[in-house]
Structures are given as C-alpha cells and as structure tokens.
Structure 1
Amino acid sequence: MPQFPGARRFVDTGQQCATGKIARNSSRRPQKPPGRKEWESQTGKNSPRARKQHSAHVSSILAALAERNSSVSLVLDRAGRLESRELSRILSEQRDWRKAIEVFSWFQRQDNYEANVFLYNILLRTLGRAAKWELLQKYWSEMLGERVPPTIFTYSILVDVHGRAGMKDEAIRFYRHMIESGVEPDEVMVSTYMNLQRRFGDLEEAEKAFWGLFSENLVDGTTKRPENPETFNTMISFYGEHAKFAEASKVFAEMMKAGVELTTVTFNAMIHVYGKAGRTREAELLVTKMKQRKDCCPDVATYNSLIEMYVKNDKLELVSGCLERMRDSGVSPDQVTFRTLISAYAANNVVWKAEALVQEMEGSGFFIDQAMYTVMIAMYVRARDVSKAESVFRFLHSRGGLEVSTYVGVMDVYAEHKCLDQAREVFELAKNAGLKTPSLYNVMMKAYGACDRFTDAVTVFEAMEKDGASPNEASFNSLIQLLCKGRLLEILQRVLVLVKAAGFKPSLASCSSVVSFYGDMGRVREAERVFKEMLASGVEADVICYSALLNAYAEAGFAREAQQTLDSLKAAGFVPDTIVYTSMMKLYSNLGLTAEAEKIYEEISRLSPDVFAANTMLNLYIKSGMFTEAEQLFRAMQRGKPGLNEVACTMMLKLYREAGKIEQGLDVARVMSRRFLITDARAFNGVIAMYVKAGLMREALEALKEMRRAGLVPSRSTFSCFEEILERAGM
C-alpha cells in the first residue's frame, strides 16, 4: 500500500461533521451550514407524510438498482434531485463494490454535488469489506484532496476493515495517521484499536491503549476513566486469554470504581478468567452475585463458562449439578453446552451420560456434526465396544457427504487402539469415495505401524503414487520413523534417498529416530553423517537429537566425539538432562573410567536421582572390584536415593554369593521378597542360587515353585541350581 499523504491537521467545525458537507474545490473554509433541525423546519421535510414519501422514493430507486443488468446512471438520472440522506442510504445499500463505485461516481458528476464525509465513509467501508485495497487507497487520497476532514468514524472503519483482513500494519498506520492529524480518538475508537490488537495477540499494545484512557485531573485530583462497559469487557477478556488473572481482576475493580454498568458480558468474562486460573469458588460466587442483581442474570454463556471450567479442572462430578441449575434457571442448553458436555463425558468414558446427551441434543433440534460423531466413536473404542463404534460410523457414512478429516479422525482413533481391521475398512471406504489424500494414507501407515506391521506400512506408502495421492513431507517423515522402529535398515536407506530426490527434508523427530537407530545398529559414522546433514539443512538439533548421537558414540566407546557432542549441546544453550549424563556414564563404564563416571553420577544426583545411572555406577564398581563403594551406593539406594530396584539387588546377590558373604546375600534376598522385587527370571535365579549357596534348600525349592506360578520359563541357570539341590539331597 502506498505511503499516506503528509499528515495534515484538520480543524473540525462541529456543524461540518454534522452535515458532512464541504464545498467542492473550494480553497476557502466553507460557511457553516444550517443545522439539520433548522433545515427540516424550514422545508417541512420532517413531517410524517414527507418521511413516508422519502422512504417510498428511495425504496423504488433501490429496487431498480437491484435489477440484473440495470444501468446505474439511467436509474439515478430518472430519480431526479436527491438529498444527502437519500444519497447515503442508496450508497450504503450497495453490497456489490462495483455498483457502489458507479453510484458514488454518479453523485460526483452532479452539479449540486458537495464532498461529503458520510458518503466517503460508506464507500471506504464497502471497498474494505470487498478487500479492494488499491481502490480504497485511491478514494482515501481523493477524500483528503477534496479537503474533506476524516472523522473518528472514518478512521474506525479503516482500522476495522484492515484489521479484519489480517493487515495489522496498515490498520496501525491509519490509527497513527489519525493521531498525527490531530483527531482525538474517543473511547469507541480506542476500543476498536484494542480489538485489533486482541485479534493479533498483541497484549502490550492493547494495554497501552486501554490504560491511556485513564487520566488524572491535577486540579481536583479526580481520575477520568472509560465509560463504556465494552471497553472494560474487552480488556478483561484479553487478559483472561493470556492467563493474566491479577491484571483482569484490576480492570474489574477499576470498572466498579468508575461506576460503569456491570453487564452479563462482564460477569461472563470474569467467570472465564477465574475458571482459567482454576479458582472455581470465586467463579461460583460471581454467578451467585449475578442472580442477586436485577440488571443482569446468568445466561447460556455463563453456564457454558462454568461447565468448561469444571471440565478443565477435572471436576466432572460438578458438571451434572451445573446443568441442573442451568435448567432450573430457565436457561436452555445450546450447541456449545451439548458439545462440551458430550466431549467431557466421552473423554472420561462415562458412556451412558454421553449417549443420553446426544439423544437430548438431537431431540432439541440441534445438528450433530461429523466431529461429534467422531468423539462418540472414540469413546466406544476406548470402552472396548468396537462393534458399537463401527455401527455409529456406518450410520454416519450412510448419510453421505463425509469430509476427509472425518475419515482420517476415525482411522486415527482405530490406529491408536490397534483396531487394524476397522481402520482398513474406513480407509477403503474413503478411497472408494474418491478422497485419496496424503493424510489418509499417512494414518493408514500409522495403523500398520502401531501393530508392528512395518512392511504393510511400506506397501501403503508405495501405493500412494499409483493412487494419485503424492506423498508429502509428513508421509516421508511418518515412514522414516516407522522404519526405524521396525529396524528395516535397507528400506530406510532407500527412503532417505527418495526424500532427497523429492526435495523434502526430514523433520527433527525423523532425524533423531535415524540417528538413534544407526547408533543402535553400531553404524556410528552414518549416525554422525545424518546429524551433520540435518544441521546443514537448517534444522536445529534439540536435546533428544544430541542425546541420540551422544549415545551412539557412548555405545561405540568414542570418548572424544562424545565429549565434543556434550560440549556442543551446552554451547547450543541446552542443559544436559539425566539421559545425556547416563549416556556419558555408560561410556565411562564401558571404558572402565571409574573416576570420570563418579563425577557424572554426582551431576545426575544433583539433577534428580536416576535408577539407570545408579545401576550403571553400581555395575562399574563391581566390575572394578570396588566392593566397599558398591556397598555404600547400594545402602544409599536402600535409603531411597534413588530407591532399590530388581537389577541392583540381583547384581548385589551375585557379588555377595561369589565373595562368600552369605549373611549379606541372604539379607538382600529377604529385602527383595519383602519389597516384591522378584519378578523376572534373572531375579529368581539370583535368589535361588543364594539360597542354595547358604544351604537353604527348602527356601530354594519354594522360590522355584513361585517362579513357575509366575509363568516364568526356567533358564539354564535355574536348572544348574536345581541340579545342585538334588545333589545335596543325595538324589
């Protein structure tokens, strides 16, 4: 949009704004015209008969203009002389911007035409709503050239239409032009500007505008405050959207201090703010106060806010009571009420209540859309009533007109719960309906991946091109992560080549999966290459990706590279977490570097006690023959830092058994039994071997029976212990 003409201060004469008329092409300031009431009394045009004739005349003109292929010039030429208010009405009724320009141009060609701010306002609004910005700029410049001073209403139109079109900079530029031109913004204009900033999420600018309406009189010490409830309501709502509870409360207090009328909208805005802050008690008190007032009372929006608050704060037990109070107050639930309640009950698997509300919603004449049916299908799947979910979908499908998002949503529900057959059925129905979009195939790949059928996911991917649904970036990323999960190395390498050829770049999550997979496969240099290529493509690594590469180096024993990766992670502004430090510990443990591992373990302990790190350190102490340090660490774990676990106890059992420390080993076995830390075959074998070493054959046999009852298959180690029991029994 071109720059505005230089700001010019327009001095409004009051009556000029009342009539909106300035003599065309006049170099001097026009004379003050008579007021409307004076003009009407002189001409007699305010009599009932005159008003009726005026209305009929304008209506006939509008009807003629509305006819298809009507000539604007011909219709208006036949209409005769038109007054200012007639011109305004005719122009304001034109919804087609082309016809509006024709009408305005006809006005300008008349001998009695006088530049009129009201006509320009109407035209600017019409062009703005039609998004005809070049034309709007043209007539704005023409308006200034005609020396027609823009009014507050003019600027309000310009700020509003640009703001609604998402043109924030242009809207702000008009607002600033207003200030520079000496036009003092009134409260309505400031409210429009605040709504603009709210639309774009600029809280700071909205705050400046709002608090700028407050001014203190230094003479009498009084404070000027906004007077319109909507101004306060807008600011309260904006603060609520940004979870600024204290600030919203301050605005509410200022509103009461100013004596501004508290409307239902005001109370609803504050209830919403309280609900977002989790302050259910205060929200309920506001509803009580509303009921006590005569000028406002709770409406459907009030109860919807309460219901939403209860749902978000996990107070589902209060929802039913709120709905009853709503009905007792004579307020009927609307579509929002039903949607919120049904979604809440469905998410919490309260099937019968969700079903009852669906029936009531339908009986009340509300339309149940596809999204609501998807919510119900998800509920039935979670409740393991898949047949009912299928029945609902078939009913929905029989109505026809399903959107691809509905097919995808239902398939996604089935995929998450591994209902592969149902997902395939929906997939085929969608394809038969001609809805072959990448998102549909992506979800089908997800369904196969959830069931570990990775080669089938590859088949779906390969079918995309044949079916006319070209894979998108999400398709490639989904497949890459599935191939890593399925450990399909050869296919993965082929797909990575295809990604490059297609001009896509893997997402951060995909790169992390590939780096981790290559590391697990011992292909460290390939993991390193993928990581470097990712950085070169402009994708920034996160802690997870750095951890994947560091772990690959740790598994391979590459100490220098691992340390460099750790340094890069810190240089990138990330704080190493327990996963990173545990990888470093694993590296030092594999290399037998006890002192370095101890330093890392201390770092981890400061962050958060970690079981895996403690087990790694314990194993290193045992391997290094540092039995005293191992015992000290084990005792610390017993005290709850980070707590005992089956792996640590099994390691200590083996240590004590091999060192001949029978009593200490038996103590560990008893602790394991007391704390239910004997659940896998390795732990059972350790306990049985300890009992055999101590000569406690009955306890060993009981442990063996318990192992069988747990459904665990005895291993070679178990049979060795059993043979020793038989030998000692002389069998």
Structure 2
Amino acid sequence: MEADVLSDMCHTAFPLTDPLFMKKIQFSFSIVMMEAIKKLHGHLIVSGLYNCQYAMSKILRFYAILQPDLALAHKVYGQIEAPTTYLRNIILRGLAQSDAPEDAIAFYKKARGEGMEPDNLTFPFVVKACARISALKEGKQMHNHVLKFGLLSDIFVSNSLIHLYAACGDLCCARSVFHEMLVKDVVSWNSLICGYSQCNRLQEVLKLFRLMHGEGVRADKVTMVKVVSACTRLGDWSMADCLVKYIEDYCIEVDIYLGNTLIDYYGRRGQLQSAEKVFFNMKDRNTVTMNAMITAYSKAGDLVSARRLFEEIPSKDLISWSSMISGYSQASQFSDALELFRQMQRAKVKPDAVVLASVLSACAHLGALDLGKWIHDYVRRHGIEADTILHNSLIDMYAKCGSTKEALQVFRETKEKDTLSWNSIIMGLANNGSEHEALGAFRAMLAEGFRPNEVTFLGVLIACANAELVEEGLGHFESMRSVHGVEPQMKHYGVVVDLLGRAGRLTKALGFIAEMPVAPEPVVYRILLGAARTHGDLGVAEVAAERLRELDGGNGGDYTLMSNAYAGADRWSDAMEVRQRMEDRRVRKLPACSVVDC
C-alpha cells in the first residue's frame, strides 16, 4: 500500500523543488523503508538467520542511525550473539547523536567490560558524545585509551579529540593534539579554530586562518563562518574584505550559516546592498537570517523594510522582537518602539534585559515614567538579571523623567558601575536642580578611579552653569585637556559660554569665543546673543548677531532675538529695522517647540 502511495505521488504535477512535496516524498519513503526493514527483521527471526551478522547489521544500522528507534536497536543488538566491534560501533554512533549522548559513554564502558576491542571508528563516536555534554574527564579517559591502542595517528580520531578539548574550553590540550598530528586536514584546522572562537580568542582565530592558508589547506564554509565572524566582532574590515574575496575566488558555498554571518558583517558595516544581495541569493533562510537582515535594515535607517521583513517571520523569537524594537529606539522612533513592545507583551514573549533597555530608552525620551516604573517592577517580579546596561538604562530613564530620587537608588544598587553609570547620574542630577549633588558624584567618580570622558564633563559643566559656579566651571573646563586628556568639543565650548553668559560676564564670553582653537558653530553665538539680550548688553548682542548673519543668515530666530533685545532697551526703530530686514530677506521664523517635541 505504501508503495502505491509513493507511486501516486510521483505521478502528480508537484515540482521536485517544492519543499512540501519533497517532505511528503521523504515521509512516504521512510514508511516504505520501515515496513521493509521490519519484514526483513521478521523473516530473519522466523528463518533462524538472526545470527547472520551482515544482515543484522543492516537492520541495526537502520534502527540506530537512519530512522532512529534506539529501543528497537537495543532489542536487535540483544539478539546477536558475540557482537563484533563493527556492530557495537553502530550502536555507539546512534547513541552519540541521540538526545542522550551520555548513554554512548555508558555503552562503551560496558562493551569494554565485555571484551570489546575498540578501533579507529569507535573513538570518534564516543569522544563526540563526551564533547556534546562537556564531559572532559571521560574525554581524557578516551584519550588515554586512544594512546593505549595506538590510534592517535588516525586523522579522524585526532580530529575528534581536538573537537572535544576545544568544545570543553581546554585549548592547551586541543593545540597539543593538533601539533602532534603528522597530517592535518580542513577538519583539524576547523576544530581548533572553532575552539578559539568559542573562547572569544578572536585574534588567534585569524592567526590560525593565516597559518592554515600558508600551509596550503583550503578553507571551507565552516572555516569562513568563524573567521568572518571574528573579523566582524573585532571590526577588522580590511581582513574581512580579503575573506569575502577568498569566498568568491574559491567558490565556497554560501549556506545558511555563512549567509547569516555575511549579512551580519555587511549590516554592521552599513553596506545594505551587499547584505541584500546575500539575503536574496540564499536558497534557505531561517529566523536568524531574517533577524540579521532586520538589524541591517535598521542600522541603515530603512525601518519600513525592516518592519516588512519582521511581519513576514512566521515564528518570531526574542531576537526578532529585540532587533525591531532596538531599531525603532536607535532611530528615535520611540512611540513605535513602545507600541511594538506592547504587541510583544500581547504575544506572550518574555523580554530579556536587551529588550527592556531599548524600551527604557524610549520611555526616557518620551517621559513615559509610568511605563518605566512598570518595567522596573517587571524586572524585580520576574527575577530578570539586571546587568550594568539595564541598570544604566533605568538610571537614565528616571533621571530624564525627573525622578532623581529613584535614579540615585538604582545607581546605588548597581554593583558593577561603569563610566556610563556615572555619566547618567551626573547628567541627571545636573539637569534636575541638584547641581551640587552632581558635582559631588563627579568627585566620587574620580575617587573610585573611573576615567571621565567628554559626556562626564558635559554634565559637570551644565551643573556649574545652572548653579552659576563660574570659577569652578572654568577650572573643570581647563582640566579636561590638561589633567584628563579629554579634548573639548563644540558642546563644551557652548556650555562655557552659557556659564559666563548667565553670570553676566559677556565680555569674557566674547573673548573666550575668540580664543577657541576651532571655528565656533552658530549655536555658540546664539547662546551669547540670548545672554546679551537677558542682560541688556546691546554691544555684545550686535557682535553676536552679526556673526550669526555670516554663519547662518537664514535662521529667523536670531533676527527675533536681536529685535527683542532692541525692544527691551526701548530702541524701537532698531527693532523694527531688524524685523524689516528679516522680511526683505524672506527669512521665516520657525515655530517653537519644547524639548520633548524635539
């Protein structure tokens, strides 16, 4: 009957490339084969030929390996008198690749107790089982047995030992076996390269590849996955370009794993067209492929394509949601990030620390304090391990939402602080009326041995400006380069001008700008103009306005500021003249917006 079903299917109009049709073919073939093997097995038993080891080996191989049914395989094995090493190897292979590889180790020990003489096929199966469960102790016992039986010279045995030690993180032993080999093939190199990759010894991965290439061993797709991935993580784009050329020159097959690796590489470099080329040329794709492409689209700013691809994933995993939410957050589309997070909740997908950090960033920028508090409570209730990144996101969220008390509490609870932790609390305190606390945090940061960066000093200078601590602010600014080796940026110069301007020291502010080692941007003069208007210093205001006309003559806000400065000094004709000049030059005043709107 099964043969008739298979015959009927073969005469239908399904194309051989149709995956559903091919699965049906395979399923029907499996049924036919299973029935045929069962009939053969029954015939051998009835005819008394169950001791024919050749025939029984075919049945055993089918039950243990081809269509795994290990219970049946053990039953068949038990019917064989005096099983040979070959038959035992069949069982070992089936157990080694099963869901219980530890059974292979136990079977080997039992077989040895029964007098089994292992051969060069025995050890690769048992050692593979040890590697799968990181059974290093048992693996070393197998290594000793290999030496005892003089099988270390066999390339398959040696490769399995390299794989074992590499999988268990014992790179010293892996390298020792590798160096003892007289003949090495691509599997030998790959096993060692994979070990170094697994242990994040990425520079060594690249060194091994160079040695491999130097010895004339041609890399394959497995090699390239690890080596390209190492380049991507190290940011070694020059080497990565050479590897891409190597793949093309040697016509290395780009399977699903290498394809995913290349998409990740191109995505991180922002080479969207190259990532798309790999993606669309791939015969097979999985969720990892789609996630990598979503990340590539997001990094390139094409969130429409990223979302379209996201919606096409039939079974979205945590990385799918995380990639899309992070994409929205990094592109400042915070409302979309929060809406997608709500959809994720409705889909019953449990977020991890990475997702929550992205959502907290959105909450911080939108001032969504209630949702931010809910996430904080969610972390506590579900026992999510909050790493430094998540703690920093909580500090930043509370600080930007004006809840400095909660921000300080999270900061104190953070066991492993980094520079970003300190920056977040310093900036949060400085912007929320706690300037002296911000400066105290900066002193504590230095006392604990952390190196401040440009963001740290921005927070410190803002604190000094808000508290009108002119001399202290100028002292911190001078220490940036001279003490801490931090080069001031335009934002720092702008805050110093604001610091001097708030204190009414406008002439000094003008002189400070004149001495800047870089050309001032319009924002610096805009800050000075605002301060001059506040203090009624029309001389400085006119200088600032003139410089702004030269640098950014189309900004209507500058004309308005200068007009208001004249009006504040009752110089109405000058105020009207500025307004008229603005109309003559067809300069439009842009509508105002709040910080949240911006």
Structure 1 and Structure 2 fold alike (TM over 0.5) = yes
Shift of 1:487: 0.9
Change (3 A) 1:201 1:440: closer
Q: Deviations over 1:33-57 (max 9, x none)?
A: xxxxxxxxxxxxxxxxxxxxxxxxx
After superposition, the C-alpha distances for 1:431-477 in whole angstroms (9 at most, x for unaligned) are xx5x36555555665687668574x8666656656644344444544
Q: How does 1:365-514 map to 2 (within 5 A)?
A: 368-370=283-285, 403-405=286-288, 423=307, 427=311, 435=315, 437-439=317-319, 442=322, 454=335, 461=341, 467-514=347-394
Deviations 1:590-639 (A, max 9, x none): 222221111111123552132222222223323334344223202113xx
* One-letter amino acid of the counterpart of residue 455, structure 2: I
CA distance in 2, matches of 1:67, 1:507: 53
The residue number in structure 2 matching 1:200 is 195
Q: Which residue of 2 aligns with 1:241?
A: 206
Partners of 1:634 and 1:198 in 2: CA distance: 56
In structure 2, the residue matched to 1:548 is 424
The answer for the alignment partner of 1:641 in structure 2 is 518
The corresponding residue for 2:157 is 157
Contact 1:97/1:127, CA 8 A, preserved across alignment: no
2:57 corresponds in structure 1 to: 65
* Distance in structure 2 (CA, Å) of the matches to 1:546 and 1:709: 43
Are residues 1:308 and 2:244 paired? yes
Query: Which of 551, 564, 570 is equivalent to 2:446?
Result: 570
- Of residues 524, 532, 554 in structure 2, which corresponds to 1:655? 532
Tell me whether 1:524 sits opposite 2:404 in the alignment: yes
Report the secondary structure of 1:568's partner residue: helix
Q: CA deviation at 1:681?
A: 3.8
Q: How does 1:23-34 map to 2 (within 5 A)?
A: none
Deviation, 1:549, is: 0.8
Aligned AA for 1:153? S
Name the residue aligned to 2:479: 603
The Cα shift of 1:528 comes to 0.7
Contact 1:124 1:158 in 2 (8 A): no
Q: Work out whether residues 470 and 499 of structure 2, in 8 Å CA contact, stay in contact via their aligned partners in 1.
A: yes
Q: Secondary structure at the match of 1:153?
A: coil
Q: Residue 650 of structure 1 contacts residue 682 of structure 1 at CA under 8 Å; is this kept in 2?
A: no
Give the partner amino acid of 1:550.
Answer: I
Q: Residues 345-384 of structure 1 correspond to what in structure 2 (within 5 A)?
A: 348=271, 368-370=283-285
Structure 2 CA distance for partners of 1:171 and 1:452, relative to 1, 3 Å: closer
Counterpart position of 1:580 = 456
Which residue does 2:46 correspond to in 1?
A: none
**Secondary structure at the counterpart of residue 463 of structure 2:** helix
From the CA coordinates, give the structure whose radius of gyration is larger. Answer: 1
Asked whether 1:590 is paired with 2:466, we answer yes
Check conservation: 2:264, 2:292, Cα contact below 8 A: no
Letter of the aligned partner of 1:369 in structure 2? Answer: D
More displaced, 469-478 or 686-695? 686-695
Q: What displacement does 1:154 show?
A: 7.5
Indicate how the Cα distance of structure 1 residues 93 and 671 shifts in structure 2: closer, same or farther if over 3 A, else same: same
Contact map agreement 2:399 2:428 (CA 8 A) in 1? yes
Once residues 482 and 421 of structure 1 are traced to their aligned partners in structure 2, the CA distance between those partners, rounded to angstroms, is 21
Task: Tell me the distance in 2 between the aligned counterparts of 1:627 and 1:64.
Answer: 99
> Does 1:613 find its partner at 2:528?
no
The residue aligned with 1:677 is: 552
Residue 655 of structure 1 deviates from its aligned partner by 3.2
RMSD (CA atoms)? 5.9
Contact 1:653 1:668 in 2 (8 A): no
Alpha carbons 2:196, 2:204 under 8 Å: kept? no
Question: Residue 67 of structure 1: SS of its match in structure 2?
Answer: helix
CA drift at 1:157: 2.9
The CA distance in 1 between the partners of 2:141 and 2:378, in whole Å, is 51
Instruction: Using the TM superposition, give the Cα deviation of residue 696 of structure 1 relative to its aligned residue in structure 2, in angstroms.
Output: 6.7
Asked if the contact 1:516/1:549 (under 8 Å) is kept, the reply is yes
* Alignment deviations for residues 454-508 of structure 1 (CA, whole Å, 9 cap, x no partner): 4x86666566566443444445444333322221223322332232112224443
Q: Percent identity?
A: 12
Relative to structure 1, is the Cα distance of residues 279 and 611 closer, same or farther in structure 2, using a 3 angstrom cutoff?
closer
* Structure 1 unmatched runs, 5+: 1-59, 80-86, 207-236, 256-260, 284-303, 311-321, 362-366, 371-402, 716-731
Once the 2 structures are TM-superposed, how far is the Cα of residue 704 of structure 1 from its aligned partner? 1.2
Taking the aligned partners of 1:411 and 1:608, their CA distance within structure 2 comes to: 36
Provide the rounded CA distance (Å) in 1 between the counterparts of 2:591 and 2:145: 91
Tell me, yes or no, if the aligned pair for 1:528 and 1:549 is still in contact at 8 Å. yes
* Partner deviation per Cα, 1:328-384 (whole Å, 9 max, x = no partner): xxx868547996699969965669x977x999x6xxxxx5233xxxxxxxxxxxxxx
What does 1:4-15 correspond to in 2, within 5 Å?
A: none
Match of 1:632 in 2: 511
Deviation for aligned residue 1:195: 6.5
Map of 2:590 onto structure 1: 712
SS in structure 2 opposite 1:704?
Answer: helix
> How many residue pairs end up in the alignment?
498
Give the Cα separation in 1 of the matches to 2:237 and 2:290: 39
Following superposition, the deviation at residue 703 of structure 1 comes to 3.4
CA distance in 2, matches of 1:439, 1:348: 21
The 8 Å contact of residues 408 and 439 in structure 1, kept in 2 or not, is answered as yes
**Which of 620-629 and 609-618 deviates more?**
620-629
Measure how far apart 1:163 and its partner are.
2.8
Sort the Cα spacing of 1:200 and 1:713 in 2 relative to 1 into closer, same or farther, 3 A: closer
- For 1:588 and 1:670, the matched residues in 2 are separated by 29
Give me the TM-score of the superposition, normalised by structure 2: 0.62
Letter in 2 for 1:126: F
Is residue 498–residue 531 contact of structure 2 (8 Å, CA) maintained in 1?
no
TM-score by length of 1: 0.52
CA distance in 2 between counterparts of 1:109 and 1:520 reads 72
Distance 1:515 1:243, change over 3 A: farther
Structure 1 residue 135: Cα displacement: 7.7
Three-state SS of the structure 1 residue aligned to 2:349 is: coil
1:129 matches 2:5: no
Match of 1:703 in 2: 581
Q: Is the 8 A contact 1:407 1:426 kept in 2?
A: yes
Letter in 2 for 1:200: G
Q: Any idea what SS the aligned residue of 1:308 has? A: helix
Residues 157/706 of structure 1: CA separation in 2 closer, same or farther (3 Å cut): farther
C-alpha deviations, 1:108-139, integer Å up to 9, x for none? Answer: 979xxxx96xx454433332234496887777
Structure 2 CA distance for partners of 1:186 and 1:643, relative to 1, 3 Å? same
Q: CA deviation at 1:657?
A: 10
In structure 1, distance between residues paired with 2:181 and 2:271: 49
- Return the letter of the residue paired with 2:372: L
CA distance in 2, matches of 1:465, 1:165: 42
Deviation string, structure 1 residues 179-233 (Cα, Å, up to 9, x no partner): 9xxxx946459999987654332999x9xxxxxxxxxxxxxxxxxxxxxxxxxxx
CA contact (8 A) 2:337 2:359 kept: yes
Contact 1:197–1:203 (8 Å) recurs in 2: no
**Cα offset, 1:713, TM superposition:** 5.1
- SS of 2:520's partner is coil
Hey, what's the Cα distance between the residues in 2 that align with 1:405 and 1:264?
27
Paired with 1:647 and 1:332, the residues of 2 have a C-alpha distance of: 56
Which ranges of structure 2 fall in alignment gaps of 5 or more residues? 1-51, 61-72, 97-103, 594-598
